Amino acid sequence: MNKFTTKRQELEGRREGLLAPSTDLEQGATRDIAGALNAILADVFALYLKTKNFHWHMSGPHFRDYHLLLDEHADQIFAMSDPVAERIRKIGGNTLRSIGDIARRQRVLDNDADYVDPLDMLSELREDNETFVARLRGTHDLCDEHRDVATASLIEVWIDETERRAWFLFETTRR
């Protein structure tokens, strides 16, 4: 082995050490939780964009109220993105890398219709938020299985926020 090879191996070893997670979670737990969180992160971006889409295309006699409500909801949804991604990195996982990556992992359905009735927009977002709560609960259960209390704690806050959004959307569409 020459001097160059030894130096290169030393650098590669250091690089691997930098990428190693600073967690006591087992490798399987990291893989499972990071995978679940990446799906959550993809859904966060999809739900955010769908909420903004409906916010931008809102119309009708309740325009101002609905427009502001959806803007508030979108801000809250987007605020989840960085904590989700950072948690994935903290446990040693890799996060989403592109729009294509999001599109492959998202479970929230897009709505590209030219026109959607305002009440249909709100109802669709309510259903999406209710489904998102169920997915958050499933990820929370996974965290419990692996004793990842830090991720579970974050998810509990996101569940509460998402339930609140679903509740507001439900009450807004009641007749």
The full set of domains in the chain, from first to last, is 26-173 (1.20.1260.10)
pLDDT in tens, 32-70: 999 999 999 999 999 999 999 999 999 999 999 999 999
What's the average model confidence in pLDDT over 84-110? 97
- Written in H, E and C, the secondary structure of the chain is CCHHHHHHHHHHHHHHHHHCCCCCCCHHHHHHHHHHHHHHHHHHHHHHHHHHHHHHCCCCCCHHHHHHHHHHHHHHHHHHHHHHHHHHHHCCCCCCCCHHHHHHHCCCCCCCCCCCCHHHHHHHHHHHHHHHHHHHHHHHHHHHHCCCHHHHHHHHHHHHHHHHHHHHHHHHHCC
What was the pLDDT predicted at 5?
66
Instruction: Using the predicted structure, report yes or no on whether residue 4 has a pLDDT greater than 80.
Output: no
The CA distance from 175 to 167, in Å, is 14
What was the pLDDT predicted at 20?
60
The CA distance from 39 to 36, in Å, is 5
Predicted confidence band of residue 124 (pLDDT cuts 50, 70, 90): very high
Sequence-distant (6+) residues with CB within 8 A of 118 are 58, 59, 60, 62, 63, 66
Mean confidence (pLDDT) of the chain: 93
Buried b (16+ CB within 10 A) or exposed e, 117-128: ebeebbbbbbeb
What was the pLDDT predicted at 136?
98
pLDDT in tens, 140-150: 999 999 999 99
Instruction: Using the predicted structure, report yes or no on whether residue 113 has a pLDDT greater than 90.
Output: yes
Residue 7, number of CB atoms within 10 A of its CB: 10
